[in-house]
Amino acid sequence: MTRRIHLLNGCTALLLLSGCMGYKLGGSQPAGIETVAVAPVINTTTEPAIEIEITRAVRQRIQFDGRLKLVNKPENADGMIEVKLTSYSLTPIAFRSDLSTTPEQYRLRIDAVAELKDTQTGEVLSTSKTYGEANFEFKADLTSSKRDALPGAAKELAKFITDDLIEQWQ
């Protein structure tokens, strides 16, 4: 009797594990792309200097992701990531309780278009049209409040860009 139970358990385990064949932990990447460089981010919005934070966030995200090796020089890379910031907006989402018209909380949103290109052929391997958002409270002044919220929106944008560009469904 126990021999049948062991045989049944073994067959069940074999069936369950066979369903995982071909699965790779961490997802896949574009064929032929092992190293990538990040081109300077192009800012077409009216908000100055946000491209610096976005570039930093994209580079950090690629390093964190680990599927591709980040290199500094395009001539040493298999692929090039190009990002263009298309929109920057602030939307009031909460107001002070004293019925004033002064917003207490804002949502910062940055829209972008990104491409992963093969550096040898110039072919566009994948594209991404996405956004990053961060909510923040109005503090002493709007400029410093926006500056404090920018890293959060940049990190979210970088995550969506790298996931869209690198993840290849097979």
Q: Report all structural domains of the chain as residue ranges with CATH numbers, in order of start.
A: 32-166 (3.30.160.150)
Among the listed residues 106, 103, 93, 104, the one whose alpha carbon sits nearest the alpha carbon of residue 153: 106
| Span 72-93, pLDDT tens digits | 999 999 999 999 999 999 999 9
Q: What is the pLDDT of residue 10?
A: 66
Report the candidate in 133, 129, 134, 121 with the shortest Cα–Cα distance to residue 163.
129
The structure tokens listed for 133 are: 């958002």
Per-residue pLDDT at 23 exceeds 50 = no
Burial class (CB in 10 A: 0-12, 13-18, 19+), 140: exposed
Phi and psi dihedrals of 33, rounded to 5? -110, 110
Q: How far, in Å, CA of 124 to CA of 81, rounded?
A: 10
- The secondary structure element, H or E, covering residue 3 is helix 2-18
Number of H helices, E strands in the chain: 3, 6
Cα–Cα distances in angstroms (integers) from residue 94 to residues 67, 102, 148, in the given order: 40, 9, 18
Strand-pairing partners, residue 70, are 36
pLDDT at 95 over 90: no
The whole-chain average pLDDT of the chain stands at 86
